[in-house]
Amino acid sequence: MDVERGWLAELMGFLRPDQVLTGAAARRGYDCDAYTVDRFPPVAIVLPESTAEVAEVVRWCNLRNVPFTARGAGTGLSGGSLPALGGIVISTKKLTQILEIDLPNRQMLAQTGIANKKLSDAVKAAGLHFAPDPSSQTVATLGGNIAENAGGPHTLKYGVTASHVVALTLVTPEGDVVQLGDRVPGGPGLDLAGLVIGSEGTLGIATEAWVTLTPLPNHVITALVAFGTVREATESVAEIIASGTIPAALEIMDRGILGALKAAFNLEYPVGTEALLLVECDGDSAELVKAEMATVDAICRSQNCLNLETAEDEVARQKLWTARKKGVGAMGRLAPSIVTHDGVIPRSKLPEMLDTVYEVASRHQIGVANIFHAGDGNLHPCFYFDDRDPDQVRRVVEAGEEIMRRCIELGGSITGEHGIGVEKLDLMGLMFSPADLEFQAQAKRIFNDGALCNPCKILPNQKSCVEHKSRWRGMAW
């Protein structure tokens, strides 16, 4: 405690008292992100208001050998911002300014603590938006999106965060401030910004970023399609992609989700519905958008859909999105604990993989519901169970690992958008050989060859890494 009091005095030497939180309630509030399985309270939480203050805190951490972890809104699903043992949290909560909007060049400079949706709100009147749209976008921060290379329903057509951040200001693990990337992308040289994006805060702390702004489409048609079997829905997705049509979004929700929606919000869908497919087509030409939707319509009907409802005006479209947007929240009704996986498979394997998910859940006697980015092949099987029962926990862990192994066998990945964090550390060895992991470690050491900047994340078995004792692994919240 004396050591900690000494720390505080030093931190408060260059930050105001209200920028350093050490109370029990605050430490408890920052002891995990939305991956709540592993928790550890930080010694302190600091709230810098500028890049210079972040750099000063990081330099102080280096001086005192204190581990540090950056944190945005704490919506991460893999424990990427789990505090290090004996470490502090550097929150970007006060870095929320939009610094410059360059409409003619369709770019914006913002601090990284700003919420994702506020970027789009700021330029909506100009007919532009920031395309990555994770489900948590009303609170998830730009910095968190950068750390996780966040996706969202519309990344099928518009791409993930890495495609929309051209340059950033990084406070390096040593506390230097460097500019990476270029407002004019595509140039020669190493893509250092590209390496930092998606590195889960382990290569430094991004404090400002130039993002690209994408024109809002002039024409949008949304369709909600009901199917009598999940396989018909997944076959439709595979056919739509194979036809060369790239909708803006292709999302599936199965009967488990529909049951939760009924319980939580009394939402009803056509009798016999086993899966809903949400399709959105957009573009500047009404004719092309209609033609795309006609292709989708024909494919879904050939797959015996029960019902196909389309909407063009904003209010009606948002109504069709209700099931997708409220589905995750509604799952709280299903069981005391829910874990959401994030596996990815090549899209043509979707029907086969969904069959596997149901078979594995059934064999392990666990409830499963699916709500996911079907067009990207990005699954989110959600197991619901009671984590007070060790046997249920064991079965959930085993089922999760089986599903991840199958994703890898099919040529996919153990995470499409949630990241490795601490959750999937043990699974990295399933996807990559020791030599592959060392190859990644070499890339990490370009920026971070120490043990202070968000340690013990992404790569398993790091030297000098004293990991938290996990309650259980292989899954998210």
Q: CB of 346: closest distance to other proteins in angstroms?
A: 4
Token look-up 């790091």 returns 462
Task: For residue 99, state whether it binds other proteins (rule: CB under 8 A).
Answer: no
Stretch that binds other proteins, among 320-328, 393-401, 409-417, 468-476 (CB under 8 A): 409-417
Among 162, 224, 323, 353, binds other proteins (CB under 8 A): 162
Q: CB of 111: closest distance to other proteins in angstroms?
A: 20
Q: CB of 384: closest distance to other proteins in angstroms?
A: 25
CB atoms near residue 379 (< 10 Å): 27
Q: Which is nearer to other proteins, 298 or 443 (CB)?
A: 443
Q: CB of 126: closest distance to other proteins in angstroms?
A: 15
Whole-number Å distance between alpha carbons of 447 and 178: 11
Q: Which is nearer to other proteins, 30 or 210 (CB)?
A: 210
Q: Which is nearer to other proteins, 24 or 190 (CB)?
A: 190
Q: CB of 164: closest distance to other proteins in angstroms?
A: 11
Whole-number Å distance between alpha carbons of 132 and 30: 25
DSSP 372: E
Task: For residue 443, state whether it binds other proteins (rule: CB under 8 A).
Answer: yes
Check: CB of residue 338 under 8 Å from CB of residue 77. no
Whole-number Å distance between alpha carbons of 377 and 248: 14
Among 26, 263, 459, 465, binds other proteins (CB under 8 A): 459
Contacts of the segment 63-69: beta carbons below 8 A, 24+ positions apart: 64/7, 64/10, 65/452, 66/7, 66/452, 67/451, 67/452, 67/453, 67/454, 67/455, 68/452, 68/453, 68/454, 69/42, 69/201, 69/454
Task: For residue 354, state whether it binds other proteins (rule: CB under 8 A).
Answer: no
Task: For residue 378, state whether it binds other proteins (rule: CB under 8 A).
Answer: yes
Task: For residue 448, state whether it binds other proteins (rule: CB under 8 A).
Answer: no
The DSSP H or E segment spanning 433 is: none
Q: Report CA torsion sign: 342, 348, 354, 356.
A: negative
Q: Which is nearer to other proteins, 105 or 285 (CB)?
A: 105
Among 63, 99, 126, 178, binds other proteins (CB under 8 A): 178
The DSSP H or E segment spanning 273 is: none
What Å distances lie between residue 423 and 39, 348, 365, 373, 464, CA to CA? Answer: 12, 27, 23, 21, 19
Among 422, 447, 452, 453, binds other proteins (CB under 8 A): 447
Task: For residue 127, state whether it binds other proteins (rule: CB under 8 A).
Answer: no
The set of residues, in sequence order, having a beta carbon less than 8 Å from that of 474 and lying 6+ positions away, is 397, 400, 401, 404, 423, 424, 426, 427
Task: For residue 439, state whether it binds other proteins (rule: CB under 8 A).
Answer: yes
Check: CB of residue 116 under 8 Å from CB of residue 45. no
Check: CB of residue 61 under 8 Å from CB of residue 47. no
- Where residue 258 falls (left for φ over 0; alpha for ψ -120 to 50; beta otherwise) is alpha
Q: CB of 4: closest distance to other proteins in angstroms?
A: 33
Q: CB of 379: closest distance to other proteins in angstroms?
A: 11
Question: x/- contact string, 64-83, with other proteins (CB under 8 A)?
Answer: --------------------
Of 308-337, which residues contact other proteins (CB under 8 A)?
none
Q: Which is nearer to other proteins, 171 or 226 (CB)?
A: 171
Q: Which is nearer to other proteins, 52 or 439 (CB)?
A: 439
Whole-number Å distance between alpha carbons of 114 and 151: 17
Return the half-sphere exposure (C-beta side, CA atoms, 13 A cut-off) of residue 321.
16
Task: For residue 149, state whether it binds other proteins (rule: CB under 8 A).
Answer: yes
Of 181-240, which residues contact other proteins (CB under 8 A)?
182-184, 186-192, 194-195, 197-199, 238
DSSP 229-257: SHHHHHHHHHHHHHTT---SEEEEEEHHH
| Count of residues that bind other proteins according to CB under 8 A | 74
Check: CB of residue 166 under 8 Å from CB of residue 178. no
Q: What tokens does 435 get? A: 């030599």
Among 54, 260, 371, 458, binds other proteins (CB under 8 A): 458
Q: CB of 105: closest distance to other proteins in angstroms?
A: 5
Stretch that binds other proteins, among 264-272, 311-319, 360-368, 441-449 (CB under 8 A): 441-449
The set of residues, in sequence order, having a beta carbon less than 8 Å from that of 35 and lying 6+ positions away, is 76, 77, 78, 79, 82, 421, 422, 423, 476, 477
Stretch that binds other proteins, among 67-75, 119-127, 222-230, 436-444 (CB under 8 A): 436-444
Task: For residue 374, state whether it binds other proteins (rule: CB under 8 A).
Answer: no
Of 42-61, which residues contact other proteins (CB under 8 A)?
none
Stretch that binds other proteins, among 42-50, 124-132, 300-308, 414-422 (CB under 8 A): 414-422
DSSP 334: T
Among 77, 110, 180, 277, binds other proteins (CB under 8 A): 180
Among 163, 229, 295, 470, binds other proteins (CB under 8 A): 163
Of 236-255, which residues contact other proteins (CB under 8 A)?
238, 241-244, 246
